[in-house]
Structure 1
Amino acid sequence: MEFRQLNTFVTVADLNSFTRAADILGYTQPTVTSQIQLLESELGVRLFERIRKNISLTHEGEKLLVYARQIVNLCEEAKNTVKDHPVPKGVVTIGAWESLCTTRIHSLLKEFYYKLPGIEIILKTVKSTEYEELLLDNQIDVAFCLDRMITASDFIVELAIPEPLALLVEPNHPLAKLPDVYPENIVNYLLILAEEGCSYRREIMTIFSDCGLAPDSIMEIESIQAMKQLAINGLGIIFLPKVAVEEELSKGQLVELNWRGPSFEFLTQVIYHEDKWMSPALQTLLNMTKELLPMQYC
């Protein structure tokens, strides 16, 4: 196995595209294809499934990817030890909640791109049940999470900022007229919640359970935008990060219930694995995140 073959393999796996990998690496597409084929021939396995224009890692490819990343990272570390780059370069793979992608991260990445266009960013939308495994498997370099404080010993929490959550309804909903709202007030109404396993869905369900209550009806929706539209049309109650509904609140399409139940102690957190190699590109992203992200909460 040659380093360039492993580097090409990692790049194709990250971008899920032979064409984009060729552009990033400065190769022709036939060269990328040839390197992958030589690697497959040497190992005696298929690394990618190729169906029409779509590719995906095989089981053997997923196993190799873990080691290939480590080899590529060590080689980059060795190069950076003896040669300083005036402008950081490289690839950083981010995993983030959908709600953070659409509210917090987009402006951060825009600023990052303008200042450091030499760093390639790969942004993957992940569910709250996925980020730990993705970090452990080195499939993402850093995760932007929305959860209670993460205390797992395998992970470093680089940044943690309180993120307000809210229960919301359309203005004519019966609960909108109550001066105070408690868990027992909302269990008889339809709750429109994110998919099972979502961190803030777990939060509200835990509150009900602790109070000895169970909602009469739940509608599960994966799309935040769909959740908001259903609530605006009067179908039920939604529970989301307040930043995700700022526009609807300002337009009077939704109102926040005056919740008097147990508090929602959630934080937006930036985390990475404790053994993660801190490449110049990743370190630059983390430094800029610590500088810029808190400004959004002022």
Structure 2
Amino acid sequence: LDMMNCNALDIVYFLDKKMYDPKWVKALEVPDRVIFVTSADNPLANASISLEEMIRQPLILTEKDASYRLLLEQHLASLELDIHPFLEIGNTEFIVRLLRDNQGVSFLPEFTVRQDIENGRLVPVHVPGFTMRIWKQIVYHKDKWVSREMEAFLLLAAQSEPHG
């Protein structure tokens, strides 16, 4: 975002809490749930489990600097809870492959596992009273000259996202 504000980048796409800056034009702002997910073969697949019990599971999480991981840790801290993942990996696709092989549970944006859920390979784990959203956002600086190519990209990005 700093690089965009300094005109070193044209457009920034990020997943985070809803953010606003008067220097930005928001070309996209779409919410998505972040969910606990596991293999359809995992005993937790059809269970309802408390948040306290969930964080004791063999969790495979993204690195600490991932925005949705940070949001989870902040929420847990507000409840005086702490998380100790079984494994931390920076590659979401690798985490999904481990989940497909029934290697644990993870906490991921729903869009990253939607196809696997639709295909029945992965299932969300129900945690009563717990929901978390993250926002997919595309922004550019309000003073940025928008080229035809940039305009086409922004239109394509907006059309490819399901809204609502």
TMscore range, shorter length: 0.7 to 0.9
The aligned amino acid for 2:144 is K
- The CA distance in 1 between the partners of 2:23 and 2:86, in whole Å, is 34
2:36 equivalent in structure 1:
167
Give me the TM-score of the superposition, normalised by structure 2. 0.84
Q: CA deviation at 1:168?
A: 0.4
- The CA distance in 2 between the partners of 1:150 and 1:240, in whole Å, is 20
1:264 equivalent in structure 2:
132
Decide which structure has greater helix share: 1
Say yes or no: does 1:203 pair with 2:97.
no
Q: CA deviation at 1:277?
A: 2.3
In the alignment, structure 1 segments of 5+ residues that lack a partner are 1-131
Equivalent residue of 1:260, what SS?
coil
The aligned amino acid for 1:254 is L
C-alpha distance after superposition, 1:208-254 (max 9, x if no partner): 11111112334211111210121222322111122221332233221
Q: What is the alpha-carbon root mean square deviation over aligned residues?
A: 2.2
Q: Answer yes or no: is the 8 Å Cα contact 2:38–2:106 preserved in 1.
A: yes
Cα distance, 1:270–1:217 mapped onto 2, change above 3 Å: closer
Say yes or no: does 1:279 pair with 2:147.
yes
Say yes or no: does 1:240 pair with 2:108.
yes
Give me the TM-score of the superposition, normalised by structure 1. 0.50
Q: Answer yes or no: is the 8 Å Cα contact 2:38–2:125 preserved in 1.
A: yes
2:14 equivalent in structure 1:
145
Decide which structure has greater strand share: 2
Match of 2:90 among 211, 216, 222: 222
1:50 equivalent in structure 2:
none
Equivalent residue of 2:81, what SS?
coil
2:123 equivalent in structure 1:
255
C-alpha distance after superposition, 1:159-187 (max 9, x if no partner): 21122222101234343242x33321211
Equivalences for 1:55-204 in 2 at 5 Å?
132-178=1-47, 180-204=48-72
Number of residue pairs matched by the alignment = 164
- The structure with the larger Rg is 1
Q: Identity over aligned residues, as a percent? A: 23
1:38 equivalent in structure 2:
none
- The CA distance in 2 between the partners of 1:185 and 1:226, in whole Å, is 24
